[in-house]
Structure 1
Amino acid sequence: MKLTARLGAAAVAGAISLAVPAAVVPAPAVAATAQGGCGQVTHWTSRFKHHVRVSNKCNYSISFQVKRRGPDSDCQILTAYVTRTLWWQRYGRQFQGIRWNCA
């Protein structure tokens, strides 16, 4: 009797855990690196703007595109050892990540 009660409780607990969706964990703000660690991306927000700083730490050019809600940025090409900062209005366009090798 005790064994069947435990198995029944385990089955019910398993069914409940399958029915409840897992919590969505947001990605960290600094999450993107280019091939071989050449590109470094930093994202931050101020009161009215989003800022994305992309640095190229290699001796060759890399290309990237900032993905955001709404229109994405144009394809940007960074030459060796160059840093570029892009910004846009904070409300309406959320930062979603970086797409590498767009050119």
Structure 2
Amino acid sequence: TSPGERGTAIVAGHVDNADGPAVFYDLGAVRRGATIEVDRRDGGTAVFTVDAVEAYAARDFPDEKVYGAAARPELRVITCGGPYSRSTGYEGNVVVFAHLTGSRLR
């Protein structure tokens, strides 16, 4: 699903890499009520309002809650999180849940 269209849009990125912080380094600091703006391929911008920020251990990741269909335009922003192990990497994920509250043309 493209961000802003009916359904669940997914945006995923790294929290960090070997060079340091990456695109979603501060994702866990996002709070309910914050806005997320996503530039669309059609030149518009979809504006989402955050409903929740949740962290999950990999073994407890709620696939249906995160990736399942939605009747309205929704957004999930996902990065790695939780404890880190040099041998296995991060042991979980941080997920931001948001819904469309506006849009604008450029």
TM tier, smaller = under 0.3
Q: Decide which structure has greater helix share.
A: 1
Higher relative contact order (CA 8 A, sep 6+): 2
Compute the TM-score of the two structures, normalised by the length of structure 1: 0.24
Larger Rg: 1
Q: Decide which structure has greater strand share.
A: 2
